[in-house]
Amino acid sequence: MRLRLLKRNVLLLLGVIFVLVTLLFSTRVLVLSENDTRAASSRDVVSNGNQGTNSCEIFDFASLSELTQSVYSANYKQCVHNADRFPGEPRLVLVVQVHNRPEYLRLLIRSLEKAAEVHSFLLIFSHDYVSQEINTIVQGITFCKVLQIYFPFSTQLYPKEFPGQDPRDCPRDISKDEARKTGCLNADHPDSYGHYREAFITQTKHHWWWKLHFVWERVQVLQGYSGFAVFLEEDNYILPDFFHFYKLMIEFRKTSCQDCDMLALGNHDSVRDFTGLSNKVLTSGWMSTKHNMGMAISKEVYYKLMGCSNNFCTYDDYNWDWTLQHLSGTCISKPLKVLVAQASRVLHTGDCGLHQKENCRPELVSQNVEESLQKAKDGLFPPRLDLSRVWPVEHKAHMKNGGWGDVRDHVLCNNYSKRL
């Protein structure tokens, strides 16, 4: 009798276990199926004004908090587009700082598409403004690997609080005494000329410094990369022999300018005598007004700059390039030496920028670019480089421009290495 009961209990227990296992398996299949459906649905989302698609990330524009979360998610995932088409390590990294000038961005991408050996590039677009239009433009690139990163402390994401413009901040031109009477937030911290911060002015320097940190410290595909990163902006246009000239500069540096810290593939001169200067380079101390376009930085120089982070972040100039010139020869005891292309391989197309927002004519710019290319075509792809000038490498002092007196900017800037 006991044996019969025992058998019955065992069979009952086995039956219960079988049912539980079946239920668990069915639930798992349903969950996986539902997740697969959601994933497929996410991939097929069409922009409807609230959402923007990315091949591996969805940007939700429904609210600031959701857009901010999308930005952090994209920076964490770091999806490299076209990686399957162009495997292997990049031979050149281009980092493009992008705001919100899609017509100029299209011009830059058009020039990149025509550049020799572009398939070996990694393009990193660093955005401080997120829009479906700009994402669509960048994600339409098929000729090389592309990574998008997003400045997470932009005025777009913080429109009514620091680091954006808080309504409680002091007006730009109010006096310090009046500011203290009104009790505005930053009354004790005007700049060197008595003006209070403007968020749209401070953003570019913030973005540039954050981008430098993120590219060298956080971009996963660059771990182990030993080359230079060339820094561009959305209103630049590169010439077809850009990479060819870069390689010539690298070889020239190895043999004839081993103490050169940076390369400058661009300058602000016209292409009037491009053919005569095509293979000419010079050396000089780094200067903001001459060497801030198509600037190539190695990781070694990045570390030099990081040793001066506090100096960079507290210097009262809203321009990253003027701040860099200040560091060269002060905090960085030996002034930065640069190898410069005399015939610029980077054209500046922007007739609109930080201080000019109206009467922009990108169609005229496109026409000017085509004319410049015609003038330059006979001087492209020189076989070798010649050193034409050697300028003194010395610190060039200048009057700081202000716009960077608020201690909140100093603290945020200094914390990028910890808050990426």
Summarize pLDDT for 104-136 with one digit per residue, the tens. 999 999 999 999 999 999 999 999 999 999 999
pLDDT band per the 50, 70, 90 thresholds, residue 365: confident
Q: What pLDDT score does 29 carry?
A: 34
CA distance 10 to 5: 9
pLDDT band per the 50, 70, 90 thresholds, residue 199: very high
- Assess whether pLDDT exceeds 70 at residue 344: yes
pLDDT band per the 50, 70, 90 thresholds, residue 201: very high
- Assess whether pLDDT exceeds 70 at residue 353: no
Residue pLDDT, tens place only, 373-403: 999 999 999 999 999 999 999 998 889 999 9
CB-based contact 413:206 (threshold 8 Å): yes
Residue pLDDT, tens place only, 295-313: 999 999 999 999 999 999 9
Q: What pLDDT score does 26 carry?
A: 39
| pLDDT averaged over every residue in the chain | 87
Tell me the two tokens of residue 416: 């990028």
Tell me what the mean pLDDT of segment 226-246 comes to. Answer: 97
CA distance 196 to 374: 46
Nearest by Cα to 222 from 213, 232, 210 = 213
Lowest-confidence pick of 168-182, 233-247, 300-314, 343-357: 343-357
CB-based contact 180:188 (threshold 8 Å): yes
- Assess whether pLDDT exceeds 90 at residue 269: no
CB-based contact 206:408 (threshold 8 Å): no
User: pTM of the full predicted structure?
Assistant: 0.85
- CA 225 from chain center: how many Å? 17
Lowest-confidence pick of 146-160, 243-257, 297-311, 347-361: 347-361
- Assess whether pLDDT exceeds 70 at residue 42: no
Domain ranges in the chain are 52-414
- Assess whether pLDDT exceeds 80 at residue 36: no
pLDDT band per the 50, 70, 90 thresholds, residue 315: very high
The residue written with tokens 């349903």 in the block is: 30
**Residue 43 vs residues 39, 46, 85, 138: alpha-carbon distances, Å:** 6, 9, 20, 17
Q: What pLDDT score does 176 carry?
A: 97
- Assess whether pLDDT exceeds 50 at residue 343: yes
pLDDT band per the 50, 70, 90 thresholds, residue 87: very high
Tell me what the mean pLDDT of segment 191-201 comes to. Answer: 98
Q: What is the 3-state secondary structure (H, E, C) of the chain?
A: CHHHHHHHHHHHHHHHHHHHHHHHHHHHHHHHHHHHHHHHHHHCCCCCCCEEEECCEEEECCCHHHHHHHHHHHHHHCCEECCCCCCCCCCEEEEEEECCCHHHHHHHHHHHHCCCCHHHEEEEEEECCCCHHHHHHHHCCCCCEEEEEECCCCCCCCCCCCCCCCCCCCCCCCCHHHHHHHCCCCCCCCCCCCCCCCHHHHHHHHHHHHHHHHHHHCCHHHCCCCCCEEEEECCEEECCCHHHHHHHHHHHHHHHCCCCCEEECCCCCCCCCHHHHCCEEEEEECCHHHHCCCEEECHHHHHHHHCCHHHHHHCCECCHHHHHHHHECCCECCCCEEEEECCCCEEECCCCCCCCCCCCCHHHHHHHHHHHHHHHHHHCCCCCCEEEEECCCCCCCCCCCECCCCHHHHHHHHCCCCCC
pLDDT band per the 50, 70, 90 thresholds, residue 55: low
- Asked: is 52-414 a CATH 3.80.10.10 domain? The reply is no
CB-based contact 332:308 (threshold 8 Å): yes
- Assess whether pLDDT exceeds 90 at residue 3: no
- Assess whether pLDDT exceeds 60 at residue 358: no
The residues that bridge with 121 in the sheet, in sequence order, are 92
